[in-house]
Copies of this chain bind each other. A is one copy, B any other.
Amino acid sequence: MSIIVLGTIGLDTVKTPVNLKKDILGGSAVHFSMAAKIFTKVNLVSCIGSDFPRKYKIFLKNKGIDLRSVSVIKGENFRWTGEYTKDFNCAITKKTVIGVLGSFKPDITNDQRKIKNIFLANVDPKLQLSLLKKFTSPRLVACDSMNYWIENSKKDLLRVLKKVQIFFCNDQEARQLSGEYNIIKASKILLRMGPKIVLIKKGEHGVLLNAGSFMVSLPAFPIDNIVDATGAGDTFAGGFMGALTLEKDISRLAIFNAIIKGTVIASFNVEGFGLEETSKLNKIMILKRMNKYKRLFVL
C-alpha cells in the first residue's frame, strides 16, 4: 500500500519573538509526507524552482519519499514568510511568492496512476481536479483547501468536493464555505456537498469529525512550548491518511486511531521549526506519546 500527495514544496521564512529561520524546507506536501512516511510509502507530486537547494532534495530522497513526479521548473521556488507573535498560535502571513507554482501542471508516472490513496493538499482546485483524473482506481481520496480558493474558485472547489471521501478544513474555512457559524451545522452542510467525512481541524482545540452516521471529537495533545506551528495541519493530515492507508475499511475504529496518530505526530511538529522534530520521529516515540495522549480522555 502506498499514498500519493499533491501539494507544495516551499521555502519558509519563519519569525518568532525569539528566532528567525530563513528559507527552511516546508510546504504542504513536505509536511504531509514527513508524517505519512512513518506508515506507508509516499509519492510526492509538486514542483520546485531552479533555486531550490540541492541539500533539501537529497534530504527528502533520503527519507524514502518518491520524488519522480516533482518537476523542476525554471524560475523562483514557492516561498512563504510568516510571523508568530507571542500571543498567537497561528502565523500571520507576511509574504507569499508563488514562483514556479504558477505554471505548474501536475503529472505522474504510469505506475503511480494505479495508486489508490490520494491526498490533494491545499493548491488550486483546478490542479486538484486535473491530477485526480489521472488515477485509474482511487480507493481513498481526501483534499484540503483554504480561504483563497473558497473566495476565488468556489465552483472548482465544489467540483473537487464531489469527488473526495474526506474533506479537511479548519474551523474558519468550514464556516466560510458553509455560510454557517455553528461548526456542527457547518459540518452537516459540508457533508451535503459531497464528502462522506468532514474533518475540521481546530488547532489547539483538536479535531471534530463528522461522518454523518457518527461524530468524533478529540482534543489536541497539550504542548506548553509551541515553537512553530507551520505545517501542523498538513502533518496531522499526513499521519491520519498514512494510518488509514493501512486499514482495510474506513471504519469508525480506523478513523479514531488515525486521528490519534495524526494528532500525536502534529504535536511533535509544533515543538520545532519546520521539520526539525517530525523528521526525527520513529514509531516508539509516537507510541509513547499516544499512550500519554489517551490518558487525557480515556477513563
Contact = CB atoms under 8 A, between A and B. Distances in A.
A205 to B, nearest CB: 4
A202 interface: yes
Contacts of A182: 89, 224-226
B226 A219 contact: no
Interface in A211-226: 214-220, 222-226
Given A86-B181, A183-B204, A224-B182, A296 B215 contact: yes
Interface residues of A, number: 35
A87 interface: yes
B217 A222 contact: yes
Contacts of A216: 296-297
A184 interface: yes
A256 interface: yes
A52 B38 CA distance: 65
Contacts of A217: 206, 219-220, 222, 296-297
Interface of A: 86-89, 181-185, 188, 202, 204-206, 208, 214-220, 222-226, 253, 256-257, 295-299
